[in-house]
Structure 1
Amino acid sequence: MEFAELIKTPRADNVVLHRPFEPAVEGTLCLTGHHLIFSSRRQDNAEELWLLHSNIDSIEKRFVGSLGTIVIKCKDLRIIQLDIPGMEECLNIASSIEALSTLDSVTLMYPFFYRPMFEIVEDGWSAFLPEKEFEFLNALTDEWRLTYINKDFSICPSYPPVVTVPKSIDDETLQKVAVFRHGGRFPVLSYYHKKNGMVMMRTSQPLTGTNGKRCKDDEKLINSTLGPGRRGYIIDTRSLSAAQQARAKGGGFEVEVYYPQWRRIHKSVERFNILQESLIKLVEACNDQSHNMDRWLSKLEASNWLTHVKEILTAGCLAAQCIDREDASVLVHGTEGTDSTLQITSLAQIILDPDCRTIRGFESLIVREWLQAGHPFQQRCAQSAYSNSKQKWEAPVFLLFLDCVWQMLHQFPCSFEFNEHFLVTLFEHAYASQFGTFLGNNENERSKLKLPQKTMSLWSWVNQPEELKNFKNPLFEANSLVIWPSVAPQSLQLWEGVFLRWNRPSKFLDEAQEEMRKIISDNRVLQEKLWDNSYFLSPFDWLPKEAVSYKLRSALCFCPIAG
């Protein structure tokens, strides 16, 4: 198929672009195979907008006389309006955008055509290979091994070719366990806690069914991770009733009599359509222009978004607490083990492991706990909050995880090397990107698509020194301790950087961030000058309150700034 076949009107002049808090701009609109491009060449009002068709969630058409209006709603939650003279031109452009934004074939998407204009310092596709990650583990313990049993994806289509399993368990046993677990997702190592040697594993539900079927090889594998007298916790991300209902469909949960050293805990975490509806309601609330505070708060509460944030953070804290404070290993699973399971294992690692709070450590976490672990990005992020077609597999699972990370960054502003901009960037690229990192639903699909050979990795761009500085937190001071986020209602806030960034002017926030960077930079220089006298200043110690503007104090405290 040629893209030209889908573009009925490639160019339109005298188009007016409208965006919130920005003046209207007149210019030329062009459609290419992958981008909507708006440009104004006027010297007094130069403007250029490049929008990926894959970032478009839905469009609406309106007509007043001969003037047509297209409202474009994007997956990154922004809304833009284009006024196009001529009804026929407007209809042609609208139908072209609809066709180009809903291409069926993954290989027709922009990452397969994108050619980087920057020098590639590091190949992101090979930056976080399992073998490299295993070297760090092997330096701490010799009780685990890499297995290539899934090298052809025949054992588990959603697992990577290589995973980490107990050394005492052979591949023949793993094959039998895979048959007993939903989708072949047998238990694999997710995290090793250096402090006490406890581990966290992830898997999918056991296929016990109504007859209470058991698998001695599964019991052997799971029990082998515990030493004599040790105990463990199985965290099931479904409610007890949901887990019991799953038995009627052939699924189920571990029967404790066969896993005597393990205690099962049900920590219900919502998924799929419930999360998608929650996001839709939240975005609707954020776009409410009534300026009625009671109505806004009522809509925000009705969306239940912050309730979901609390549920997942609580479950992540529970897993971390079992490992760090109870000296117990943890096994996490839901039904498939590709959504809520990964949210919990990832958050627990951020709480426990300071390396996961660095930029590179967080990238590694995303790769091994989301991409390699088989989170179906292609399905979950196919549409966002504005889509008219609601597919059952669409859900903001990854966005909800990033929101939880932002809550921790908000509560511990000095413990993370990366800033909010880094999290927002990951959200944007998960839904629409020029990079191939988030294409496909698992490593099997990415292998068939030959993404490492045909597309560029997001990490190749992010990890350039000139780009990396934009994602660094100027307040960062390495913290080797475990961090315990609060899940109290007053501690959880709406992530304005995502949900309100297109609905409020950013001028004051940008100014405050720049002022903060300058003061922190000046403070670093002052610290170096005073270092010889063994006198150290934290970023806040030397700032007299009366000398700091309201905007700066708000930025330092990560509070929203009134315009």
Structure 2
Amino acid sequence: MDAIRVSKVERVACTKSGATSVGTVHLTAHHLIFRYDGGKEKEMWVPYPLVSLVNRLPQTLQGDSPLTFHTRTFETFTLTFGKDSEASDVFESVKELTVATSVTQLYAFFYTPNPPFPNKDGWILYSPREEFGRMGVGSRSKAWRFTDINKDYSFCPTYPARLVVPTKISDATLQYASKYRSKCRIPILSYLHWANYGSITRSSQPMVGITQNRSIQDEKLIEAIFQSHWSPETRTSNAPVYGATCTNLIIDARPTTNAVANTAKGAGTENMDNYKEGKKAYLGIDNIHIMRDSLAKIVEALREADTLSVSVNSDGSEGTVAVLDRQALRRSGWLRHISAILEGTLLITRNIHVNSSHVLIHCSDGWDRTAQLSSLSQLCLDPFYRTIKGFQILVEKDWLSFGHRFLDRCGHLSSEKFFVSPSENAGSNSGADAAQAFLASVQHRFASQHHIKETSPVFHQFLESVRQIQRQYPERFEFNERFLKQLYFHLYSCQFGTFMFNCERERRVGEGGGPAPWEQTVSVWDFFNSPSEMEQNLNPLYNSSLDDPTSRAPKADMGVLFPNPKDVRFWNELYGRTDEEMNGRTATSPSPVGGTELVGPMEGSLDDPAMQSFGTPSLTSSLSSPSRSPALRPSSVKPTSSRSASPAAPPRDLSASMPEVARPSPARQDSFSPFASTSSAFSLRTANPSSPSSSSQSSPIWARNKPPDFTGVKSVWGKLSSNASAAFSVVQDAYAGVAKDLRNTGGVEDDTPEKTAELRGRDTLSAWGEDRSSGTSKVNSSLSGLTIGNPWATTSSHPPTLLEENPWGPSSISSQTYAHSSDSSPPLDSSLPLDPTVATPISVSRRNTPSSTTLLAGEQPHPQSSRSPASQPSAKVPATPPTKSTDDIDPLGVGLL
């Protein structure tokens, strides 16, 4: 190998976990091997793809040259060489062998097990016909069928060759529907529940765009999925089937802001006015970039702890010192992300098993968050997937077959960016050489940056979520914790060909007519199914009798698990730390930081915050629809959460650092609150008829029953921060009180936070010259075109008071004008010239509006204004002398700044 400058270096000091030993470094084509002198310890073999970062440090005062290696298994070791030339040769050799230009250069294409594995069926372990046949496709249910529309991967390159779709949907309909989904990833079956025919289907986002495109074929496809309780033979029956139309869900795993951003790019989310068979919910799970940054913060905290530990041991102190910053681990948000994934898993599991309904899952392209939610839900629903063989089939089906991008997300080809060394020309006097070296490094950095941005610990998060469920139910899994840890290791080792490609087509089809990769590499399941590995991965606590669906024991659950999303802890074994070091001594689980954004379920565009971000015709029709009950419109529309910010923005949850006494109540209401009163299965509340309705019922579920904080030594900075937070809370409460007094009209106190004019939709703003008391355009020529509703007027017919509403607020409908005619609408014409800096607001038609005031999205209707305008007495302004003009207080009508 030309890349290996030196194959063997003796008398090298290796420092790992605070201990230093002397040995020999061997460099092979695919491994870095360190052999300890005297054979005191086992050899250390490090596959090159496992190397995540190499730092070449400057020479020490003794003339030694150290190299620090960081691995993807969260291990750190330092090799110290006696000569700088040896360190340079090893550094350059490892870089050349780690940074690959093609996947065929990786170890899997050269690995041959010795002795051979007894089982060699790993590549054919998963058979779509056998697995879906086990679920009941074609036997228990005739509502689903196999299709070969993608047998040559021309229909969808990232989907498997064998798909399962509704029987009454033809292949021609699928061809048209594929144009409406990103990457042609249409909704297809992933799981059919063994108890009630409930299904899990998965897809990518719809190509809605700003123009609100729709596809009749896609709507019919989803309608057939949600009605798959009917078999084709009994389809003529119109009798209602439990679960067929009530609680079917479309799960959008993204935050609402991400859905809005994708709408601007031509994609987006479903308009539920076109999908009447179900409702939609947002889970608020962040994208791959947020997850990558979150794990990077954990890695940084671990590396700082290792550096501090080495310095402590070098001082001669003995004993274990907890140097890992647990607060830094919590600030990474990793547990919050895990909790959000488990929250969505719980919602899907309940809707399938308890509600006997269907769930369609998608995120953006349907191969990251969608795979996490789909596989975890099936793990909870079906005990078969909690066995060793069943778990392997689950990974093959929902991750490998459905096209998770393992090559891109794991970063198997690595990058020179991960090899850091001091400037080679630091002592050179040649400015031209230094400039040339700098230019080359910049060019290479820009060329390799795109590849690095695609990496993300998506499958890592899945394994850690499985570990959370396994820890909560230790007797329900056939495999133990070691099995998951070994699977994580071989995810990055590139010893097997299982996790080295982005889709099934890349594994099954060879390039240029050559042999396919699955024929040239060994499957990782052959390794796990070998007798030696099988024996070590068995869980001694496993009790299969607990999964008996016919059991009538007091705690029997029919084999379906409902994990607790708040019981999450760091997987300390994976990170090579103790549980006390990462999670603390207390038995309580750390509460996730920031909370999860769970919005929904919602039936139409009126309830959908992603749809309200654009002025769509469906929003206007929903506002004027008399069939839509006002009870379905509250706070699920616009939650206030730290997760609703843009992915690049820092977290704004200031209340997380406040003491419990001074912490303000969360502004966001429970998005499930409209459904709690109707005993809907969507509500995650625990019923307590003895407790009256209180603030605990209106607060989000993740904000209640918080476990106590960790016990530990408080620093002076925490005390100062608490005092400052308490002072900030007092000022904030005072400001809120003043603002509420200024907003209230008629002396009626309203706890609902008023939105400023900039946050309102244009359809709710008053038109130029529109009278707020009558809703008509009153243009008086004697007043030189000045009207009461004109916010720019210098004079008015009556002096405004503090009790008068904001001129930019929602206009109320006069009882005189609209009492006898429901078809009347305020005209838009006005003699006042238009302001060139302000766009003319568009008035919304108020036909068939059940309320006398146009409701903003997310606002509760006032109890006194819910009557019809004809039956409501005209409100009198109290005869109080005006204290100050609103023009002096708020001349622009944008609210207090």
Which deviates further from its counterpart, 87-96 or 112-121?
112-121
Shift of 1:25: 2.6
Partner of 2:363: 334
Shift of 1:502: 9.2
Q: Is the 8 A contact 1:243 1:253 kept in 2?
A: yes
Shift of 1:504: 10
Q: Distance in 1 between matches of 2:489 and 2:194?
A: 34
In structure 2, C-alpha distance between the alignment counterparts of 1:235 and 1:160, rounded to whole Å: 22
- TM-score w.r.t. the length of structure 2 is 0.54
- In 2, the alpha carbon distance for the partners of 1:222 and 1:249 equals 24
- Match for residue 245 of structure 1 among 261, 268, 271: 261
What is the CA–CA distance in structure 2 between the aligned matches of 1:504 and 1:286, rounded to whole Å?
A: 14
2:92 corresponds to 1:95: yes
Partner of 1:214: 214
Residue 269 (structure 1) shift: 0.6
Partner of 2:34: 38
3-state DSSP of counterpart to 1:121:
coil
| Cα distance in structure 2, aligned partners of 1:98 and 1:155 | 40
1:152-179 CA-to-partner distances (Å, cap 9, x unmatched) read: 2211111111121112222221111111
Q: Distance in 2 between matches of 1:365 and 1:387?
A: 33
Is residue 69–residue 83 contact of structure 1 (8 Å, CA) maintained in 2? yes
Q: 1:235 aligns to what SS in structure 2?
A: strand
Residue in structure 2 matched with residue 157 of structure 1 by the alignment? 157
Deviation at 1:354, TM superposition (A): 0.8
Say if 1:271 and 1:395, in contact at 8 Å, map to a contact too: no
Q: RCO (CA 8 Å, sep 6+): is it higher in 1 or 2?
A: 1
Which whole-Å CA distance do the structure 1 matches of 2:579 and 2:323 have between them?
Answer: 18
**Does 2:333 align with 1:304?**
yes
1:451 pairs with 2:517: yes
Equivalent position of 1:266 in the other structure: 282
**Equivalent residue in structure 2 for 1:257, among 227, 251, 273:** 273
1:53 aligns with 2:48: yes
Q: C-alpha deviations, 1:438-496, integer Å up to 9, x for none?
A: 011111222245221100000011112221111111000013221111122xx211110
Residue aligning to 1:513: none
Count of aligned positions: 498
Gaps of 5+ in 2: 228-237, 310-320, 420-447, 511-515, 548-558, 582-897
> In the alignment, what sits opposite 2:67?
70
Cα distance between partner residues in 1 of 2:371 and 2:220: 24
Change (3 A) 1:387 1:477: farther
Q: Distance in 2 between matches of 1:47 and 1:466?
A: 19
Which residue of the other structure, out of 131, 134, 140, is the alignment partner of 1:133? 131
Residue equivalent to 1:17: 14
SS at match of 2:179: helix
Tell me which structure has the larger Cα radius of gyration: 2
Q: Could you list the per-position Cα deviations for residues 126-163 of structure 1 after superposition, in whole angstroms to 9, with x for gaps in the alignment?
A: 01121221321334322212222112221111111112
Go from structure 1 to structure 2 and tell me whether the alpha carbon gap of 1:352 and 1:134 turns closer, same or farther (over 3 Å shift): closer
Whether the 8 Å contact between 1:20 and 1:502 is mirrored in structure 2 is no
Counterpart of 2:487 in structure 1 is 426
**Per-residue deviation, 1:24:** 2.7
Alignment match, 1:533: none
Say if 1:18 and 1:112 are closer, same or farther in 2 by CA, change over 3 A.
same
Deviations 1:409-440 (A, max 9, x none): 11111111111111111111112231100011
Assess if the C-alpha contact under 8 Å between 1:11 and 1:30 holds in 2: yes
Offset at residue 18 of structure 1 (A): 1.8
Give how far 1:501 is off: 4.2
Structure 1 residue 295: Cα displacement = 7.4
Aligned to 1:159, the other structure's residue is in SS state coil
State the match for 2:193 in structure 1: 193
Distance 2:210 2:290 in 1: 27
Contact 2:405–2:501 (CA under 8 A) maintained in structure 1? yes
Tell me, yes or no, if the aligned pair for 2:572 and 2:579 is still in contact at 8 Å.
no
Distance 1:47 1:242, change over 3 A: closer
Deviations 1:105-139 (A, max 9, x none): 10010000000113332310001121221321334
CA distance in 1, matches of 2:209, 2:87: 56
Partner of 1:547: none
SS where residue 6 of structure 1 aligns? Answer: coil
CA gap 1:116/1:501 in 2 versus in 1, 3 angstroms: farther
Q: Aligned partner of 1:131: which letter?
A: R
Give the TM-score of the pair, scaled to structure 1.
0.84
Whether the 8 Å contact between 1:286 and 1:503 is mirrored in structure 2 is no
Q: Helix, strand or coil for the counterpart of 1:499?
A: coil
**Is 1:269–1:308's contact at 8 Å kept on the other side of the alignment?**
yes
> Which residue matches 1:482?
560
Distance in 1 between residues matched to 2:293 and 2:495, nearest whole Å: 28
Residue 75 of structure 1 contacts residue 432 of structure 1 at CA under 8 Å; is this kept in 2? no
Q: Which residue of 1 aligns with 2:121?
A: 123
CA distance in 2, matches of 1:504, 1:297: 10
Quick check: which one's helix share is greater? Answer: 1
Match of 2:569 in 1: 493
Deviation at 1:234, TM superposition (A): 0.2
Q: What CA deviation, in whole Å up to 9, does each residue of 1:179-205 have, x standing for no partner?
A: 110001011101111111110100001
The equivalent of 2:767 in structure 1 is none
Residue 8 of structure 1, CA deviation: 0.9
In structure 1, the residue matched to 2:81 is 84
SS in 1 for 2:359: strand
Deviation for aligned residue 1:82: 1.0
Residue deviations 1:314-372 (CA, integer Å, cap 9, x gap):
01111111111122100000110010111111111111111111111111111111111
Aligned to 2:680: none
Contact 1:206 1:254 in 2 (8 A): yes
Give the C-alpha shift of residue 402 in structure 1: 0.8
Look up the SS of the partner of 1:264 in the other structure: strand
User: 1:304 Cα deviation (Å)?
Assistant: 0.4
CA RMSD in angstroms comes to: 2.2
Distance 1:149 1:447, change over 3 A: same
How is 1:284-299 mapped onto 2 (pairs within 5 angstroms)? 284-289=300-305, 296-299=325-328
Q: Is the 8 A contact 1:140 1:194 kept in 2?
A: no
Distance 1:84 1:295 in 2: 29
Is 1:324 the counterpart of 2:353 in the alignment? yes
Matched, 1:417 2:478: yes
**Cα pair 1:287 1:503 within 8 Å, conserved:** no
Of the candidates 400, 404, 408, which is equivalent to residue 469 of structure 2?
408
Moved more, 103-112 or 225-234: 225-234
Name stretches of at least 5 consecutive residues in structure 1 with no aligned partner: 506-563
Structure 1 partner of 2:791: none
Distance in 2 of aligned mates of 1:82 and 1:212: 59
Q: What letter corresponds to residue 313 of structure 1 in structure 2?
A: L
Contact conserved, 1:283 with 1:499, CA < 8 A, in 2? Answer: no
* Distance in 2 separating the partners of 1:457 and 1:140: 33
Q: Is the 8 A contact 2:572 2:578 kept in 1?
A: no
Provide the rounded CA distance (Å) in 2 between the counterparts of 1:99 and 1:52. 13
Q: Shift of residue 41 of structure 1?
A: 5.2
For the pair 1:372 / 2:409, whether they are aligned, the reply is: no
CA distance in 2, matches of 1:326, 1:294: 48
| Contact 1:120–1:461 (8 Å) recurs in 2 | no
- Residue 461 to residue 47, structure 1, CA distance change in 2 (3 Å): closer
The answer (yes or no) to whether the contact 2:254–2:287 under 8 Å persists in 1 is no
Runs in 1 of length 4+ with deviation above 4 angstroms?
290-295, 383-390, 501-505
C-alpha change, 1:503 and 1:323, in structure 2 (3 Å) is closer
- Aligned-pair identity (%): 33
Residue of structure 1 in register with 2:410 after alignment: 381
User: Which of the two has greater strand per residue?
Assistant: 1
State the match for 2:344 in structure 1.
315
